[in-house]
């Protein structure tokens, strides 16, 4: 998992509340066994029209937001089913930060384990950022996980809360496997001792 400390990036506005995980990554794409390659299916039903072509009305198809790594969304983002694929799709597409007034609890856990920083701000603060990203060309935000702040070049500054353990994992780039491997030497020693004890008992 790529460590996260500070990110300055173009911000894309997804001005919709209650975006559920089936909209983030539709169910027909859950049959894949890999954790990669989901980016092209992110918001699939919104990004493509009935003819299978990019819908110019959908915000992520707007050239102004190409390359954005910060997504600004409405309240209750990623509600619905618990599919971890939603986090994979966002990360594969290139997003490292999602800013919203609230998130579904299970998604909040899944996102953090996949290197995505979720920033809860007030509805008023999110509305301000949403409006700026819509009306100001090349509007960029800086998200500092170390300082737990969101800032822009216009004077906006807001602080956000983050669980200390999740913050540590994100800064160090540690997913569940990475956390386990930090204890590799101790695990190897335990297994060797266990195997030796089993061999002696067998004798």
pLDDT digits (tens, 9 = 90+) for 92-149: 999 999 999 999 999 999 999 999 999 999 999 999 999 999 999 999 999 999 999 9
- Is 180 in the same domain as 158? no
DSSP state of 116: P
Element (H, E) at 118: strand 117-120
Flag whether the pTM goes above 0.85: yes
pLDDT in tens, 47-85: 999 899 999 999 999 999 999 999 999 999 999 988 999
The strand pairing partners of 54, in sequence order, are: 48
The pLDDT, as a whole number, for residue 177 is 57
Q: Which domain holds residue 183?
A: 174-203
Which residues lie below 8 Å from residue 9, measured CB to CB, with a gap of 6+? 67, 68, 69, 70, 96, 97, 140, 141
- Is 101 in the same domain as 185? no
Number of domain units in the chain: 2
Going through 66-110 in order, the beta strands assigned E by DSSP cover 70-73, 97-100
- The verdict on residue 41 lying in a domain is yes
- The verdict on residue 128 lying in a domain is yes
- Is 62 in the same domain as 126? yes
């Amino acid at each position: 998992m790529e460590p996260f400390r500070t990110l300055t990036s173009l911000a894309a506005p997804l001005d919709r509340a209650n975006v559920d995980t089936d909209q983030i990554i539709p169910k027909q794409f859950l049959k894949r066994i890999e954790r990669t390659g989901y980016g092209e299916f992110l918001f699939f039903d919104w990004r493509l029209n009935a003819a299978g072509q990019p819908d110019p009305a959908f915000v992520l198809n707007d050239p102004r937001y190409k390359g954005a790594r910060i997504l600004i969304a409405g309240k209750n983002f990623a509600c619905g089913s618990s599919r971890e694929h939603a986090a994979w799709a966002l990360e594969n597409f290139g997003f490292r930060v999602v800013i919203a007034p609230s998130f579904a609890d299970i998604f909040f856990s899944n996102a953090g384990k996949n290197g995505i920083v979720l920033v809860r701000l007030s509805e008023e603060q999110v509305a301000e950022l949403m409006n700026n990203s819509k009306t100001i060309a090349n509007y960029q935000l800086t998200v500092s996980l170390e300082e737990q702040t969101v800032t822009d070049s216009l004077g906006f500054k807001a602080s956000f809360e983050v669980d200390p353990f999740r913050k540590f994992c994100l800064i160090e780039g540690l997913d569940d496997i990475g956390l386990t491997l930090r204890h590799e030497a101790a695990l190897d020693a335990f297994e060797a001792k266990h195997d030796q004890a089993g061999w002696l008992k067998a004798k």
